[in-house]
Amino acid sequence: MYPGYEQYWGAILANPNGVLPFTGRVATSGEIEYARFAQKTPHYVLSKTLDYVAWKNTRIVRNVEEIRKLKQLPGKDIHAVGGATLVCTLMNSALIDEFRLVVAPVVLGAGKALVKDVNKRHPLKLVDTKALESGKIRLTYSL
Amino acid sequence: MRRIIAALIASVDGLIEGPNGELDWVDSWEDPFDLLPQ
C-alpha cells in the first residue's frame, strides 16, 4: 500500500499539473492541498520488509506493538490511511478509536473486500454522517 | 492518549478495489475523510 501512496502524492508534489499514476488525470486543487499537508506531516509506515522510504519525516515501524506505544505518546491523533489489511490488523489489536468510511456511489461487483480478516464482532457507534460531492457519503463511527 | 482514526473509501457493495486492483471508480482522493486541519 505504501509504495502507491508515495508514488501518487509524490507525483503531485513533483508536478501538480501532471497526469497522475492510477487515475490518468491531473490532480484536483484539493488533492494538491492534501499533498502539501502530507508533505509536512509526520508519517509512520507499517512494514515488515521496507528498509527505506522516500517520503520525508517518516518512520518505519515493524509491528502493531510499536503502534500501540506511539499511541500512548503525547501528540496529535494518528490517521490510518492504508488499505483494508492495515485497518483490519489495527482493529484486531483494538487500536482503532474512530472509523471514517466513505461510500462511493458505485457497485463494483467483484474485488477486494473492505473487511475480510477481522476476528470478532465490533459494535460501532454512529457519530456523524455527511453527504459529499459526487454522491459520496461519509460515515463516522466510534469504536 | 492519541486516537487512531481509520479512513477508507468503499463501494456500495463493500469493496475497496476492483478485481484487478482498479481504483478508477474513485473520482478524487482530495480528503473525503476530513483529515486536514480546519
Is position A114 within any domain?
Answer: yes
Probe site for chain B from A77, A114, A115, A143 (most B CB atoms < 10 A): A114
Q: Which three cell numbers stand for residue A58?
A: 517518516
Sign of CA dihedral A38, A39, A42, A45: positive
Is position A70 within any domain?
Answer: no
Q: Do A56 and A100 share a domain, yes or no?
A: no
Instruction: Indicate the pTM of the whole model.
Output: 0.85
Which DSSP state fits A9? H
Probe site for chain A from B1, B12, B16 (most A CB atoms < 10 A): B16
Please, which residues have CB within 8 angstroms of residue A91's CB and are 6 or more apart in sequence?
A118, A122, A143, B6
Read off the CATH number of the domain in which A127 is found: 3.40.430.10
Domain housing A131: 78-143
Is position A71 within any domain?
Answer: no
pLDDT band for position A104 (cuts 50, 70, 90):
very high
Q: How many folded domains does chain A comprise? A: 2
pLDDT tens for each residue of A64-95:
999 999 999 999 999 998 788 888 999 999 99
Q: Do A141 and A91 share a domain, yes or no?
A: yes
Q: Do A41 and A96 share a domain, yes or no?
A: no
How buried is residue A12: exposed, middle or buried, by Cβ count under 10 Å (0-12/13-18/19+)?
buried
pLDDT tens for each residue of A120-130:
999 999 999 99
- Give the count of Cβ contacts less than 8 A between chain A and B: 153
Helices (H) and strands (E) in chain A, counts: 4, 7
